[in-house]
């Protein structure tokens, strides 16, 4: 595959192409498409749209805009990364990472140090990019963040989301985005430390995992929470099972975050997927 060309998008023609790509990535609901005129307004007021091109065709984009977060010391600026989409024929080729790296560079030039976005915590591919490769962390679970969604990827399930924190000036993030990034963790790294997951999964005859009825009490500095490796296929095959996973994982992460745990890493190894939950904030700025 040719190396994609990454560039900042600003023209009406560019935004029309982004609008069209959204319809391919999230089919079935015209109301969920951000129109070209809104994208242009955003970029003329501090927002950022970055595109990836292969053979002159737009195959991916990331879109965000300035926001405000409220902390005990008062309001402070941040960048809200609202949307990233990759053409279905161009996924798993590193385009998402290239787009986020360009966003990281541009937002730092704006003088900001914090980027936030949301994603479905049951999507392993997104988790691996957001946490393992980019170094974002999470301690906020938002139930039904977008209400009832109607596009082909989200319709029918509660739109629960992780709110990601990407502290873009930290050593942790800079190391993940460097030319010599940290080696991704493997399950053996935790097995050697005799670290046990919160629960064990029963694999059904159709090879999909069944969520357990209960999970262990949280204790210690580190623990693992397993999710299905291909939630999209699971949902397409057995929607009832997908709903069970939504409500079970909601309970797991809301409990963990309430007890002071933070998602700091993600493991995809031997077709199994695990979140790494660390207690306390000491892991945010390093590793």
Q: Could you write out the DSSP letters of every residue in 217-266? A: PP-SSEEEEEE-S-HHHHHHH-HHHHHHHHHHHHHHHHHHHHTTEEEEEE
Whether residue 286 has pLDDT greater than 60: no
pLDDT bracket for residue 154 (50, 70, 90): low
pLDDT bracket for residue 213 (50, 70, 90): very high
Per the DSSP assignment, residues forming a β-bridge with 277 are 223, 263
Residue 174: its H or E element: helix 171-176
Do the beta carbons of residue 104 and residue 98 sit within 8 Å?
Answer: no
Q: Can you give the pLDDT at residue 214?
A: 92
> For 232-239, what is the mean pLDDT?
94
Please state, in angstroms and rounded to a whole number, the distance separating the CA atoms of residues 172 and 178. 10
CB within 8 Å of 245: residues ≥ 6 apart: 122, 211, 227, 228, 231, 234
Please state, in angstroms and rounded to a whole number, the distance separating the CA atoms of residues 200 and 17. 45
pLDDT bracket for residue 31 (50, 70, 90): confident
Please state, in angstroms and rounded to a whole number, the distance separating the CA atoms of residues 113 and 117. 14
* Mean pLDDT over each residue of the chain, to the nearest integer: 92
∠ CA 182-224-264, rounded to 5° = 40
Residue 66: its H or E element: strand 57-71
Whether residue 284 has pLDDT greater than 50: no
Q: Can you give the pLDDT at residue 281?
A: 60
What pTM was estimated for this model as a whole?
Answer: 0.92
Do the beta carbons of residue 157 and residue 243 sit within 8 Å?
Answer: yes
> For 43-72, what is the mean pLDDT?
96
Q: From the CB of residue 185, how many other CB atoms can be counted at a distance below 10 Å?
A: 17
Choose among 161, 120, 158, 144: nearest CA to 243: 158
């Amino acid at each position: 595959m040719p190396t994609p060309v990454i560039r900042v998008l600003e023209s009406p023609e560019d935004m029309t192409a982004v609008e069209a790509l959204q319809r391919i990535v999230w089919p079935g609901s015209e109301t969920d498409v951000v129109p070209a005129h809104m994208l242009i307004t955003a970029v003329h007021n501090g927002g950022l749209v970055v595109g990836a091109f292969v053979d002159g065709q737009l195959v991916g984009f990331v879109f965000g805009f300035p926001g405000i977060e409220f902390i005990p010391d008062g309001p402070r600026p941040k960048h809200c990364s609202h949307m990233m989409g990759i053409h279905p024929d161009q996924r798993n080729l590193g385009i998402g990472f290239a787009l986020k790296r360009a966003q990281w560079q541009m937002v730092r030039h704006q003088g900001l140090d914090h980027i936030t976005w949301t994603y479905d915590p049951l999507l392993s591919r997104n988790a691996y990019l957001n946490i393992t490769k980019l170094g974002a962390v999470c301690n906020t679970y938002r139930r039904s963040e977008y209400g009832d969604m109607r596009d082909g990827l989200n319709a029918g399930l509660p739109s629960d989301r992780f709110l990601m924190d990407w502290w873009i000036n930290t050593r942790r993030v800079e190391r993940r985005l460097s030319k010599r990034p940290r080696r991704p963790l493997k399950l053996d790294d935790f097995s050697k430390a005799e670290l046990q997951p919160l629960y064990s999964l029963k694999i059904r005859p159709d090879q999909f995992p069944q969520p357990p009825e209960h999970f262990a009490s949280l204790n210690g500095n580190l623990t693992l929470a397993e999710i299905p490796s291909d939630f999209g296929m699971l949902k397409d095959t057995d929607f009832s099972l997908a709903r069970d996973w939504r409500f079970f994982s909601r309970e797991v992460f809301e409990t963990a975050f309430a007890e002071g745990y933070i998602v700091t890493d993600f493991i995809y190894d031997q077709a199994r997927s695990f979140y790494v939950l660390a207690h306390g904030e000491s892991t945010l700025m390093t590793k």
